Amino acid sequence: MLARLAGPTTLLVACLALLGAAPPPDVPARLLAAARRDDQAFRRLTELCDGFGHRLSGSRALEGAIEWARATFAKDGHERVRTEPVTVKRWVRGDELATLVAPFRKPIGVLALGGSVGTPRGGLEAEVVVAKDEAGVRALGPAAKGRILLIDAPMPPYDEAKNASGYGAVVGYRYDGPRLAAEVGAVAFLLRSLTERSLHTPHTGATSDADAPRRVPAAAITIEDAALLHRLYDAGRKPVVRLKLGARDAGTAPSANVIAELRGRERPDEIVVIGAHIDSWDVGQGAHDDGAGVVMTIEALRLLRALGTPPRRTVRAVLWTNEENGLAGAKAYAEAHAAELPNHVAAIESDMGAFRPLGFGLEMVDGAKEAAAVERLKALMPALQPLGATRVWPGASGADIIPLKRAGVPGMMLVVDERHYFDFHHSPADTLDKVDPALLAEGVAAMAIMAWTLAEAPGRLDR
């Protein structure tokens, strides 16, 4: 019977009918048309990016953006619009400077890694030793003592067949680099920025030295400068770098998650969460990471309300705070809503930028349950065929929904073409001009259609 159906929307209706009901057949098409109709999403992203700029936890800019998001949800007429308090880390970057002083002088593009300590007030100067990986660091042994350790590990190229960057292969060096440097006696740590391509642009990101024997200053430098230092080191020319970082921990600060709802018509206590993180690193404007996800969430909920008839279940929008350097918002949400987590049907995060939507990831703690949920999700994907976004990635979800996933909630993520995401990720280049308004609108549509599909379906992914 399904082979004779005319198109993707009708196929979705048939799939849902097999589960026990047939929702209105034109909703996905209406949501897609509404998302493409105007540039509302891009205008709101402009308000966020140009109005507040980067939004690091503990900053006035983040708190201003949180109030903007609350007011925007309220303006759109949603139910239960509110903020929920979260205490977040406050880390201050301070001034930073890196200079190659021997065998010749040259400025080095540098960004302290999030959570790093600073150098002594006057900075430090030391010879640089270079390793490609952790084994190379261990092999340096005493040669690293009193020196600056550089890990120059190129990020593997984007895999088009898998739509996978090489980020996962190298991000561990950012987290563990300061610890490795401390263990071999280095006085500071430098990291080749985690990106494939660079126009002398450094990329920051969180690091950790919780298990280190001592804390050492840590920073990312540009691909170009890392490659230069590596060449000089290999040639025996003993590069010397002067490094000055003003980074420091500044305690904690009050912040908040932002929440709004479209209450379900039949099962309002069952919840489909859509969301993104509203904080960003303190460089660029956080346009792709994750201003785009914030606006996709806001606009998806607005388009669902504009349909006039809500889906069976409640769709709840959540904008989490402090994803970049702590996940405090994610943890606070899970704790505050612990009693209702069994009624969370799914939680979807958008945190890969405003690029062409390809489909959705799905992840559950229980592997057998995940496999069954993936098959149920595949039956719902025809609704996204007009976007060409029908692929499903098992084992993929967002960072902010990790606590929900651990509680048994199916975790999901909007998967987009990520070949250029890490060109801008965590860098001064993550600005509004890098966002294509048409692709941002496609992301809005994908989020809205998936949220509606999960909220309307008679059955659940996890049972």
Kindly indicate the confidence band of residue 7, based on its pLDDT and cuts at 50, 70 and 90. Answer: very low
CB-based contact 317:298 (threshold 8 Å): yes
User: What phi and psi, each to the nearest 5 degrees, are found at residue 460?
Assistant: -115, 160
Task: Output the pLDDT for position 18.
Answer: 39
Pairing of strands 240-245, 96-102: antiparallel
Checking if the pLDDT of 11 tops 70, the result is no
pLDDT band at residue 25 under the 50/70/90 scheme = low
What's residue 14's pLDDT? 47
pTM of the model: 0.93
Whether the predicted pLDDT of 2 surpasses 50: no
Choice between 193 and 3, residue whose per-residue pLDDT is larger: 193
323 tagged catalytic: yes
| Interval 189-231: pLDDT, tens | 999 999 999 999 999 999 998 888 999 999 999 999 999 999 9
294-308 CB burial, b ≥16 within 10 A, e <16: bbbbbbbbbbbbebe
Q: Is the pLDDT of residue 6 over 90?
A: no
Mean pLDDT to the nearest integer, 418-432: 97
pLDDT tens digits along 224-269: 999 999 999 999 999 999 999 999 999 999 999 999 999 999 999 9
- CB 112, CB 218: distance < 8 Å: yes
196-232 in b/e form (b: 16+ CB < 10 A) is bebeebbbbbbbbbeebeeebbbbbbbbbbbebbbeb
Picking from 7-21, 305-319, 340-354, which range would have the lowest pLDDT averaged per residue? Answer: 7-21
Of these residues, 183, 299, 323, 349, which one is catalytic? 323
What CATH class has 2-90+251-456? alpha beta
In degrees and rounded to multiples of 5, residue 263 shows phi and psi of: -70, 135
The answer, yes or no, to whether residue 326 has pLDDT greater than 50, is yes
- Asked whether the predicted pLDDT for residue 10 surpasses 50, the reply is no
Q: Strand pairing partners for 112?
A: 219
Domain ranges of the chain: 2-90+251-456, 94-246
> Does residue 81 carry a pLDDT above 90?
yes
Report the pLDDT value the prediction gives residue 23, as an integer from 0 to 100.
Answer: 52
- pLDDT at residue 363 tops 70: yes
Domain 94-246 has CATH 3.50.30.30: yes
Same fold yes or no, 2-90+251-456 and 94-246: no
Indicate if the pLDDT at residue 340 is higher than 90: yes
- For 261-310, write each residue's pLDDT tens digit: 999 999 999 999 999 999 999 999 999 999 999 999 999 999 999 999 99
Percent of residues, the chain, with pLDDT higher than 90: 93
Averaged confidence pLDDT in the chain: 94
Residue 125 tokens, joined? 């100067």
